[in-house]
Structure 1
């Protein structure tokens, strides 16, 4: 095989070295330096499909190479990307809190995961269910050669979803031999154990190369009750900013008359039911488990018999139990000179389990204990709220995920033009179960007339919801626990693509390079639920409906060009213009055309300036478009039911009731695509003549996003409508006579626009050849200047800036810093890395206005020893979170007193790894 080759420029070498600053010391510098005096293969860099000489384009790209990934000490791609300073907004991960479906996503610039495009070897990847988010857990971690993160809009180059940027995972493809890795770790708490066994086996011949990489990974997780910060849901223990977030859905029954005007009782401990006389009315006292009436002594609440609220943190997961087996297979065979066939296969078998507290029946479920129920001593129908914990049945979310991705094609060179034709078929299937749960229909039957219950032929057992904890017997539970909620998420991606790139002609300043191509994609997605979920018969689980989207066909064509304008002039070693244009046509919502313009100005050999402008779009997901409308209960107070109703313009009468209302949620087929305009500008400085080994980049970025797809929330709509009847007049539907809310329509909408901006600084200094070894120092800084939602209400523009805030449970730190040092001497290596997250203000806190959430420092250390005499083995020992830094307290969240998606409560973590190469 032959290929075009070029000599690497000095600046390109340093830019290639400036990689992975946020997670550890990159070793790409070593690899590129070895090539400096040699010829290197023409390559393309993420953000451009043009294969050409320069390693830098007009857009900023961070590269995390294999050595950087190994030094990070992480076990998954999701964990690796979470450490990037440009990732904010609380992305999802199985190790980031218990309320997780087992998947991992990335949020560049704090935008939703749907706005960051994930690629494998520059090609699209199947997503999960009806979303457009790729589950990073399905990517074979050990098979990843490097990760390239483009921090710029790239819809013109790659299409939909690349508004915030692109994560391109470059997989290993060229390895000769066998390498085996074994690693294990555990937290200082004796939990969170992780184990991984993997191997990579590959070979090369004159005409072929092949590689197989497989791994098995196990993570034991941990429970919230095993961490001081998360073991208690009453956050008043954290001081004046704390809220009591214990649940009133308690193992102690909360009993009311059906008009909610009388009773409010619960049974005292020791109350017992007599088959002849029933319960004694003296066995009941006022219930005090509602958050505002719970005892004020938070430290005593857990042990007090008079504290009726429920600490659900005793039962919930802090980090998921998790197992995965992943396989990556690749091969390439030269069928003729300059023509090769290639194939790639990725499979992942993943199981993730997290636990929620046992289920409850709520007032909104309208469970009436009949006056004729044998356990009811009140002589009238009563309504009851109660959590059934007698048998310890939890609500596990058991997600079994199977992913298969198969890609093959032909590539080669014709008259110095590189081309490829590719076909890919990919499928992701997730089966999610919730364990044995209660049937609302059976609850109502068993709580009803006892004689009617006993007369049934389905095994009905009269249910005691009146008595104290322990009153619900095994026979009673055997009847009411009748469901095992199951959902199946299916997603299929198929595509055909053709690409060509090369030099078209020569200008006085140099060659003009172009890339062009076309792609046709077919996407299918569905979500299917069992009967219990579809009918809303599962207690404490919202009713959901099946989603079956029509096949989405996308036809695309793009053209990209790199035009040299100036060369070899004063203050202009080179000046290059980069242009790209993509046209996309969707079968289900229309067409769009997106451009990109970039400027790359090599001012001197040591100084590069760059600028890019791009327009982007994101097609609405299947879920946002096609999820069927479904009704749910909102457990919140309508302002028109309160004593101040007459002062609210939207309340014509005082509405009845105060315990919630019905909302209608679902997809909206009238949605438009999200659109964006973004630009970046920056400089790259490599002052080799002044300080050998120093590299610095600085980039300013700005994104304006319009037609943002989201829901406003039923509670917000009701509140705003009560204060201004012109707002949401068509979505908050009331009975014209009584004023009661009939329904709140809260489907997906194109809600507003956003303006985001910030800057990033990355630097590296290599100090080699000292008597004590080689050193590499690195620093990565990301500053979020603004993250503004802009809404128009009654002709008035309302701006809400989330930068520096915790809002909606997500953290948007203004400043994130990572830095560290790597040392090498002989067979020894060591690294020390420091992560910093700036303090925040908690806008979710209802007790104190904008309390401070402290800043956060974390230190990681690793040492390795090479033993070449023993099968080329390498032993690595590491400590993550050396000083056992706890997450900063967030006293307004149900997620364990902190933001688990931004910080980890795992604590100090020790790990060891050994590898053998043959």
Structure 2
């Protein structure tokens, strides 16, 4: 059997020479061993198979991104690079100003402030397995929960040699979490001498300067290789006030007040309370209209009061951030020592320190049962003896009292995250008869520790005391003036009610692995190859909120402590059998099977298998297909996460409800639905883990073809031409997530079905004051689509060498179906919802030109159009952004009325030049989004008027860099 060496070599040469970021590459060129004949290929292992051998071309759909590709993007985070690929979906990044604005997610993972994660196939970061050199990395921790995802900012980009992305189910080989695929980050093992790199970039919108620097050193000897790297990354903030569309809660409408999105918590305050006596006028300060049970007033800062109108609402947007600041310093080192010709010892260690910041508007205070905060604040009233209370005793029952103390300044969330990772092991080979076998044993320990310091948050127990009987407010208590308007809260008052919140979290992973692979027997078409191994893994995590938060005395988003651990023992086996070789209908026909048995300490055992077929018809065309079972164990946060709160932007369907809907609202406890208006659009939703969760399971089918035509190889117009197409179909059962809160509320009002209404409660005034949204095995998720890839490398000519590539993904369907109701959740293809989207198409095209030591590339990144709801309770009510208010629903679960988000294309330009000097010096520069394309305006997005998980920041990003080798 003759290996087609040319194809493997050219697949990588094409990617490296043309710098084709994100183009599917299904083979890796194996370097010859020392002293071996130059034509001998070293047995290597590629992501998607545990078998070490040379004949690995086209086994699995793997995309390869080289270090040069990463540098060519002008981005400093490998997570940001992967998020640009067409196979990636919406996921967290540093454009999300998360803390203080979204609250806690239902899965116990926390806010994730400052993290960058990756979601393959739009299935979420927790269903994408992250490996580093084939071994698991430690989960992320941002001092707000225990996440099931990995923060790719903890892995220094300057230490990365390449990234292999497997877009196929791989639980049979790698265990839990590999439902959507695997990202395997291969680090640099050696380097000849030293190198240094300096980088500076800046946005045209606001501040946002980014500086990077790294110094590395490497070497090789007869018995050793080593690589050391020190890097620093510093990204500055951009204020939301620096972009016109993010200066107001609803973009595109200038300074006009939007009642649905501006805050009812104002510096002047707002009071809605029920008099105990219907004739009570509160000393004439609060005239009761016709004996109504509520009175709406706003302080004007001068001791008088006026009726509340929407013009009083507060614009919180300028306090937010478009880009969050982040500093990262990393130390990386690894080495290999050849103990004998057949045994190697390797060691690797890395440490990354991250400092990041989120910011939010001054924290509002909501008091009384109608505020629905869900904690102590619901039971806080104001005593008549409070020296600043002109009304008399105000009971918390039936009251809605707010004040935004701007005197205390904005909320500042500062994260300090330390990530350490150490691995060591032995690997080698041995012979038995005429067969060669490869083995390795590894030990891994990784830990992520995070501390979050919150400034600008309040102690609600101190507020309660400061508003209560003045006789009980003795030093250090200072009576609080909540009615006086801006400036009425003195520094002494602030000193008493403010507190410095300190939250902590930790994750740790410890792993032992042992693997062996080689050829078992010779078959007519070649050798039957195998791989087998064992893995023991222990994972633990904890989240410890501040003692004030734990006691329920924080005015901010409440949460409880989380702690848990589990261990797993796993065994796997993989076989690759050549069925046919050098036949008229098949140059090669190979069958691969794999199975993995996992025994968990907390829920039992599972076995997951995979079968694959690779059919190389001839030198040009290879067909392949796999069927795989997938598996994801519930994470520590999902299992053991305790009470936390998510402040969701929800529109109550009972606002002004009439007809049957009005009758249903009245049955739910809303008085006079036709005139009802919810007091606050931000509803407190209670989240939490569920110890009864079952693992997720999946089945996936992947079919593909790789075509490398001989008519496009070494011709007058082409060195190499490759085409690739992959079809995928993934079905997940027992998917772990919480119902979409807005959808659940609407279904409750529409049907009064306990399936939807259980856990939702209302106050006597009709406002929602309880909303349980805990996790469960929701049901199933089904998605399918197609990946396309083309790459071409031209011949060297008198005007240089040209290359081109194109990669695209079309998601043909995506649906999440709840088991209890059989209804579809609102996240579907082509719809913007919950600050994320699944576009029909994502594509990247690239042209590259090089001549001598000059390289120039142009990249176009395309995202197809989307729709979002703008009518009904799922929309954003103010129709200034609604392109078609009379259109049908954007999904089967949504109301009528839509806003269209047009297709978007971002263009990037980069050039580099290796200077003709004795110094090995290269300078480079580029502009991302050179046409200054703005992201489409999104009215339903929670912050900043656009979807930060799908689109670039507004404005151009320009950068320059210099690198030297010595």
Q: TM-score, normalised by structure 1?
A: 0.90
3-state SS in 2 of match to 1:851: strand
1:414 aligns with 2:430: yes
| Partners of 2:749 and 2:796 in 1: CA distance | 72
2:852 to 811, 826, 838: 826
Which residue number corresponds to residue 707 of structure 2?
Answer: 685
Give the drift of 1:165: 0.3
Q: How many angstroms apart in 1 are the aligned matches of 2:257 and 2:927? A: 33
Distance 1:70 1:632 in 2: 38
Give the Cα–Cα distance (whole angstroms) in 2 for the partners of residues 887 and 740 of structure 1. Answer: 36
Aligned counterpart in structure 2 of residue 376 of structure 1, from 389, 408, 419:
389
Offset at 1:817?
A: 0.9
The aligned counterpart of 1:334 is 338
Q: State the aligned residue count.
A: 878
Q: Which residue in 2 is equivalent to 1:728?
A: 755
Residue 238 of structure 1, CA deviation:
7.4
- The answer to whether the 8 Å contact 1:845/1:851 transfers is no
Distance 1:802 1:59, change over 3 A: same
Aligned 8 A contact 1:22 1:817 in 2: no
- Which residue number in structure 1 is paired with residue 92 of structure 2? 92
- Which 10-residue stretch deviates more, 69-78 or 636-645? 636-645
- After TM superposition, list the pairs within 5 Å mapping 1:482-521 onto structure 2: 483-521=499-537
Q: Is residue 170 of structure 2 the alignment partner of residue 154 of structure 1?
A: yes
2:668 and 2:620 map into 1 onto residues whose CA distance is 73
The 3-state SS of whatever aligns with 1:444 is helix
SS in 2 for 1:569: coil
Partner of 1:858: 906
In 2: Cα distance, 1:87 partner to 1:245 partner: 30
Aligned to 1:135: 151
Write the distance in 1 (CA, Å) between the matches of 2:491 and 2:79.
42
Which of 470, 474, 481 lines up with 2:491 in the alignment?
Answer: 474
CA 1:30–1:55: 2 relative to 1, 3 Å = closer
Contact 2:194–2:216 (CA<8 Å) still a contact in 1? yes
Q: Which runs of 5+ in 2 are unaligned?
A: 100-111, 276-291, 878-884, 886-896
Partner of 1:175: 191
Rounded Cα–Cα distance in structure 1 between residues aligned with 2:63 and 2:624: 15
Deviation at 1:202, TM superposition (A): 0.7
The residue number in structure 2 matching 1:543 is 558
Find the aligned partners of 1:865 and 1:737 in 2 and give their Cα distance. Answer: 71
Report the secondary structure of 1:105's partner residue: coil
Is the Cα–Cα contact under 8 Å of residues 26 and 63 in structure 2 kept in the other structure? no
* Rounded Cα–Cα distance in structure 1 between residues aligned with 2:338 and 2:390: 85
Secondary structure at the residue paired with 2:245?
Answer: coil
SS of residue in 2 equivalent to 1:572: coil
Alpha-carbon spacing, 1:646–1:579, altered in 2? closer, same or farther (3 Å): closer
Task: Tell me the alpha carbon deviations over residues 798-851 of structure 1, each in whole angstroms, 9 at most, x when there is no partner.
Answer: 476611111222111110110111111111111111111111011453444221
Gaps of 5+ in 1: 272-278, 289-293, 295-306
Residue of structure 2 equivalent to 1:435: 455
Where does residue 893 of structure 2 map in the other structure? none
Range 68-77 or range 653-662, more displaced: 653-662
Structure 2 partner of 1:301: none
What corresponds to 2:841 in structure 1?
815
Matched, 1:268 2:300: yes
Larger strand share, 1 or 2:
1
| Alpha-carbon distance between aligned partners in 2 of 1:241 and 1:631, rounded to the nearest angstrom | 28
Distance 2:154 2:763 in 1: 52
CA shift in 2, pair 1:803/1:737, >3 Å? closer
Give the Cα–Cα distance (whole angstroms) in 2 for the partners of residues 226 and 818 of structure 1.
Answer: 29
Instruction: Classify 1:618/1:358 alpha carbon distance in 2 versus 1 (closer, same or farther; 3 Å).
Output: same
Residues in 2 aligned to 1:887 and 1:167: alpha-carbon distance in whole angstroms: 28
When normalised by structure 2's length, the TM-score is 0.86
Distance 1:498 1:915 in 2: 39
For residue 768 of structure 1, report the CA deviation from its aligned partner: 1.9
Whether the 8 Å contact between 1:58 and 1:612 is mirrored in structure 2 is no
C-alpha contact (below 8 Å) 2:360/2:412 kept by paired residues: yes
Give 1:652 shift: 5.2
Residue 117 (str. 1) matches residue 129 (str. 2) = yes
What is the alpha-carbon distance in structure 1 between the residues aligned to residue 19 and residue 856 of structure 2?
17
Q: Which residue of 1 aligns with 2:21?
A: 24
Contact kept? 1:15, 1:56, Cα under 8 Å: no
Decide which moves more: 158-167 or 184-193. Answer: 184-193
1:40 aligned counterpart, secondary structure: coil
- Could you tell me whether the CA contact under 8 Å between 1:841 and 1:850 is conserved in 2? yes
Out of 634, 648, 669, the residue aligned to residue 620 of structure 1 is 634
Pair 1:17–1:584, CA change in 2 (3 A) = farther
Give the drift of 1:220.
Answer: 0.7
SS in 2 for 1:114: helix
- Could you tell me which residue of structure 1 aligns to residue 863 of structure 2? 837
* Cα distance between partner residues in 1 of 2:25 and 2:630: 31
Q: Indicate whether 1:464 and 2:484 are aligned.
A: no
Deviation at residue 646 of structure 1 after TM alignment: 8.4
Residue of structure 2 in register with 1:423 after alignment: 443
CA contact (8 A) 2:762 2:770 kept: no
Whole-angstrom distance in 1 between the partners of 2:843 and 2:781: 25
State the shift of 1:632 in Å.
8.2
Aligned counterpart, 2:238: 222
Taking the aligned partners of 1:616 and 1:780, their CA distance within structure 2 comes to 26
In 2 relative to 1, CA 558–31 (structure 1 residues): closer, same or farther, beyond 3 Å?
Answer: closer
- Report Cα offsets for 1:853-879 as digits up to 9, x if no partner: 111111111111102524211011111
- Structure 1's 444 and 801: CA in aligned 2 closer, same or farther, altered over 3 A? closer
Indicate the larger mover: 632-641 or 907-916.
632-641
Match of 2:818 among 788, 791, 794: 791
For the aligned residue pairs, the C-alpha RMSD in angstroms reads: 3.1
Which residue of the partner structure matches residue 49 of structure 2? 48
Q: Deviations over 1:113-136 (max 9, x none)?
A: 100000000100111242221110
- Structure 2 counterpart SS, 1:178: strand
The corresponding residue for 1:247 is 263
Distance 2:443 2:391 in 1: 70
**Alignment-derived partner of residue 603 in structure 2:** 589
- Given the superposition, is the C-alpha separation of residues 761 and 671 from structure 1 closer, same or farther in structure 2, using an over 3 Å criterion? same
Q: What is the CA distance between 1:54 and its match in structure 2?
A: 2.6
Bigger mean CA offset, 382-391 vs 699-708: 382-391
Range with bigger deviation, 222-231 or 606-615 = 222-231
Residue 356 (structure 1) aligned with residue 368 (structure 2): no
| 2:772 is the alignment partner of 1:751 | no
Is 1:555 matched with 2:569? yes
Q: Given the superposition, is the C-alpha separation of residues 519 and 632 from structure 1 closer, same or farther in structure 2, using an over 3 Å criterion?
A: closer
- Measured in 2, the distance between the counterparts of 1:738 and 1:287 equals 17
Tell me what 2:7 maps to. 11
Partners of 1:653 and 1:914 in 2: CA distance: 66
Q: How far does the alpha carbon of each residue in 1:615-659 deviate from its partner, in whole angstroms, 9 at most, with x for none?
A: 101000111111124688888759599776886569757457966
Distance 1:730 1:857 in 2: 43
Match in the other structure for 1:880 = 928
Distance 1:718 1:859, change over 3 A: closer
**In structure 2, distance between residues paired with 1:241 and 1:451:** 42
2:941 maps to which of 886, 889, 893 = 893
Over 3 Å counting, the alpha-carbon distance change for 1:379 and 1:552 in structure 2 is closer
Q: Work out the CA distance in 2 between the residues paired with 1:687 and 1:351.
A: 50
Displacement of 1:713: 5.0
- Give the secondary-structure state (helix, strand or coil) at the position aligned to 1:604: coil
1:699-778 equivalences in 2 (<5 Å): 699-713=726-740, 716-728=743-755, 731-732=758-759, 744-778=771-805
The answer to whether the 8 A contact 1:252-1:469 is kept is yes
1:757-782 alpha-carbon deviations (Å, 9 max, x no partner): 00011111111211100111010111
Q: Counterpart of 2:894? A: none
Deviations 1:586-640 (A, max 9, x none): 1011111111111110011001111011010100011111112468888875959
**In 2, distance between residues paired with 1:820 and 1:232?**
36
Aligned to 2:253, the other structure's residue is in SS state helix
Q: Tell which deviates more after alignment, 642-651 or 392-401.
A: 642-651
Tell me, yes or no, if the aligned pair for 1:639 and 1:645 is still in contact at 8 Å. no
